[in-house]
Structure 1
Amino acid sequence: MPVILAILSELYKNGFFNCNMKENKKVLVVAPLSPDTGSHESKLYDMISDEFDVKWISPASDLAKTQMSNVNILSKNYFLFAFQIRKIIKQWKPDLIHFHYIDHYKSIANFFRPVSTPMIATVWGSDIMKGPYESRLWKMSVANVLNTASAITCDASHSIYEINKIISGKKIIKKIFFGIQDSESLSRDNCKENIIYSSRGHLSRYNIDKIIVSFYEFQKKFPDWHLYISGVEDPVNTPLYKEMVNSFGIINKVKFLGFINSVENRNFMKKSKIFVSIPENDAVSVSLMEAICANCICFVSDLPANYELIVNGVNGIIVNDSSCAFQRFQEIDEHLMQKVNKKLREQLTFEESKEQLLTLYNQILLSQK
């Protein structure tokens, strides 16, 4: 199999697959959708839209705008979604179907997928590490999709371990990062300030309250530091977090930025000395990859996926359950951190991820002939 992949990779580099592939091959993507042009979804679209005719399917969302064409927003109602996805698959007749973030919607769509149409499943993190442990029905949905996939992709070795616990038999499983576009620019011309930056959402599992409490203790000895919190706000949690900040008397040191676009996010990465991300469960997050490329000192949860990119005490700090202990940033040798991050950055490029994914697409399509 490695020999076949190597041959396909060389053929792709030399343009073998570029002969009107977009006109002839249709890919149906069933995945979440975000208005941010730097999101997982937009990166996937950028990877494949030049080579394939892409139709994007997503359950209804609070989507403000998207630069992607041929997007279909379907109903959140499972029964209506089933009717709509069945009609689209039957009429459009895709050559390949790609499911992202495995949940009940993907299981429903998989039910209407013709047996002759290959399918790739991409797990994100909580869909494989959390959902199956909390709901038997969720586990059944995930198992249904993964066991019928022609190939499975993920971005963490620990995800592969979780996948193998669910699937029966051997599958093609590839670790493919979403990749960071223009990763080199994140490391250039950075004028770091005394800022701790959090860009994760405000759902409870991201532990924003723990970050605020840790910063409150930290700023007592380091009063010239500030905490910036972006990410999708939560109608219940965000007001509570703001009240915490107010009650601690640090309202002048903490800024809630709300949901910001990818350009603004990159700017905060470039000027922040510390990046913090401490969710309860996760695969390799794009925000962590961006922070590494920007040479932030990364404070992250004690999760298996984080050990794939963070060397504790070298380019970041693995956080325990009690406190973020931000004062440990002083332990980091910045020169050594930058050397380690430079090597990591070479593995995290958008171009490398794109080549790996397109090679997999063509491998699966060729196997159907």
Structure 2
Amino acid sequence: MRILHILNHTRRLNGNVHAAVDLACAQVKLGHNVCMASGGGDFDRLLARNAVEVAFLDQERKPLALLKSLWTLRRLIRDWKPDIVHAHMMTSAVLSAPICRLSSTPLITTVHNAFEKSAVLMGLGTRVIAVSEAVGKSMQQRGISASKLHVVLNGTIGSARFEGRDRTPASLRGRSILFVGGLHPRKGLPDLLEAFRVAHEKYPESHLYIAGGGPFEAAYLQLATETGCANAITFVGAIDEPFPYMLAADIFVLPSHADPAPLVLSEAREAACAVIGTSVDGIPQLLGFGEAGILVPPRDPQTLAAVLCELLADPGKLDMWKARSQLHINNLTIERVARETLSIYKSVRSPGAETVSA
């Protein structure tokens, strides 16, 4: 099968990009011809190394640039002759839809961030992939028919991005708690800082590590100083490879207020951390609905603190949750994601397949 993926860019520190790059590389390994058209970025070399063709498609949101992009994409589809076009971002979907209609090429779209108002435009696809059951329900509520929606849960284990990765655990202090994510309100870091303040009072040997960058970094640094235990909180900064921290951490916490299907949870589970996540969006599904990780309410530092204290107080319980992180871990592989996605492609290419209007 010839598969053309469309992305705004291929820069790091963007979960949509990571998921699309992982998928493209996995599809090549399964024997398909794959091309990635985007504005370029950090992952272009990785794509080329994994035999994914790379095409430049500037998708800057300016009228003249978008008109030029339409022409470039039309020519690419005409010359490369894909069996499937797969768009991963709103601009990509809007650009692809008219050209796919003209060329009778099925358009698949993936909704990565359902909380964005523009996500409803992903309904332009012949089929729409939701990255978790929660995202699928959200898109149905916003008017996308169930007949064109398919859920393919995110997974990263076995990703080409991780080939040759350093598997040497980082050197962390005490009973270590780790957060990895962007430093902005949606990720709920202030809740974790408050929960850690409470837990640290009872277990002063505990230490919190925060890996990530973002617009609220200065504000969160100030919050950390106000906890009274700033010497037990380390801001690692934005790093390309947090896996060594995960390998060394005892507890991984994702206190998000909204998170469609965060890739970081499959990494934390692969590293065999005891995982705590909030019961929002796709997090419960990624944690086996509570079987492979502990679920707590969002925006509830006191409950989070109580769970942290339980794990810090009882090494046996901590080890139990580390072991439970491995339950059904094979469901989080990129190969499973690729195969499920390919089955959706085949459903719109098979003889007599119904074409669903947008």
Give the partner amino acid of 1:131.
Answer: E
Q: In structure 2, what is the equivalent of residue 180 of structure 1? A: 157
Q: Any idea what the Cα deviations from partners look like across 1:22-41, whole Å, max 9, x if unmatched? A: xxx25142355233699323
Change beyond 3 A, Cα 1:74–1:350: same
Q: In structure 2, what is the equivalent of residue 40 of structure 1? A: 19
Partner Cα distance (1:37, 1:280) in 2:
18
Change beyond 3 A, Cα 1:206–1:338: closer
Give the partner amino acid of 1:281.
Answer: A
Partner Cα distance (2:150, 2:290) in 1:
28
Change beyond 3 A, Cα 1:197–1:338: closer
Partner Cα distance (2:341, 2:12) in 1:
23
Report if aligned partners of 2:7, 2:37 keep a CA contact under 8 Å in 1.
Answer: yes
Q: Return the offset for 1:350.
A: 2.3
Q: Any idea what the Cα deviations from partners look like across 1:129-185, whole Å, max 9, x if unmatched? A: x223xxxxx2xxx44431x422222231112212222214621513243331279x9
The equivalent position to 1:195 in structure 2, one of 176, 183, 186, is 176
- The answer to whether 1:157 aligns with 2:139 is no
Q: In structure 2, what is the equivalent of residue 316 of structure 1? A: 294
The equivalent position to 2:220 in structure 1, one of 206, 216, 241, is 241
Q: Which runs of 5+ in 1 are unaligned?
A: 1-20, 133-137
- The answer to whether 1:68 aligns with 2:50 is no
Partner Cα distance (2:217, 2:168) in 1:
33
Give the partner amino acid of 1:27.
Answer: L
- The answer to whether 1:286 aligns with 2:273 is no
Partner Cα distance (2:231, 2:44) in 1:
33
Report if aligned partners of 1:227, 1:254 keep a CA contact under 8 Å in 2.
Answer: yes
Report if aligned partners of 2:23, 2:337 keep a CA contact under 8 Å in 1.
Answer: no
Matches within 5 A, 1:38-187: 39-50=18-29, 51-58=31-38, 63=42, 66-69=45-48, 70-72=54-56, 74-93=58-77, 94-95=81-82, 96-101=84-89, 103-115=90-102, 116-124=104-112, 126=113, 128=114, 130-132=115-117, 138=118, 142-146=119-123, 148-165=124-141, 166-168=143-145, 170-181=147-158
Partner Cα distance (1:37, 1:189) in 2:
25
Matches within 5 A, 1:336-347: 336-338=320-322, 340-347=324-331
Report if aligned partners of 1:176, 1:357 keep a CA contact under 8 Å in 2.
Answer: no
Change beyond 3 A, Cα 1:313–1:110: closer
Change beyond 3 A, Cα 1:131–1:367: farther
Change beyond 3 A, Cα 1:45–1:275: same
Q: In structure 2, what is the equivalent of residue 7 of structure 1? A: none
- The answer to whether 1:227 aligns with 2:203 is no
Q: Return the offset for 1:71.
A: 4.5
Change beyond 3 A, Cα 1:250–1:84: farther
Change beyond 3 A, Cα 1:242–1:64: farther
Change beyond 3 A, Cα 1:143–1:246: closer
For residue 117 of structure 1, give the secondary structure of its aligned residue in structure 2: coil
For residue 275 of structure 1, give the secondary structure of its aligned residue in structure 2: strand
Partner Cα distance (1:114, 1:285) in 2:
32
Q: In structure 1, what is the equivalent of residue 348 of structure 2? A: 364
Change beyond 3 A, Cα 1:64–1:336: closer
Q: Any idea what the Cα deviations from partners look like across 1:62-89, whole Å, max 9, x if unmatched? A: x587422314252432424422321222
Q: In structure 2, what is the equivalent of residue 328 of structure 1? A: 310
Number of residue pairs the alignment of both structures matches: 326
Q: In structure 2, what is the equivalent of residue 296 of structure 1? A: 273
Change beyond 3 A, Cα 1:335–1:328: closer
Q: Return the offset for 1:243.
A: 2.1
Report if aligned partners of 1:196, 1:273 keep a CA contact under 8 Å in 2.
Answer: yes
For residue 309 of structure 2, give the secondary structure of its aligned residue in structure 1: helix
Q: Return the offset for 1:120.
A: 0.8
Partner Cα distance (1:313, 1:176) in 2:
16
Q: In structure 2, what is the equivalent of residue 9 of structure 1? A: none
Partner Cα distance (1:68, 1:275) in 2:
30
Q: Any idea what the Cα deviations from partners look like across 1:184-235, whole Å, max 9, x if unmatched? A: x99x99799611111110122112222222222221221111111112x224
For residue 175 of structure 2, give the secondary structure of its aligned residue in structure 1: strand
Q: Return the offset for 1:119.
A: 0.8
Give the partner amino acid of 2:246.
Answer: M
Change beyond 3 A, Cα 1:298–1:122: same
Q: In structure 2, what is the equivalent of residue 206 of structure 1? A: 187
Identical aligned residues as a percent: 17
Give the partner amino acid of 1:327.
Answer: C
Report if aligned partners of 1:276, 1:298 keep a CA contact under 8 Å in 2.
Answer: yes
Q: Any idea what the Cα deviations from partners look like across 1:50-72, whole Å, max 9, x if unmatched? A: 544433234577x5874223142
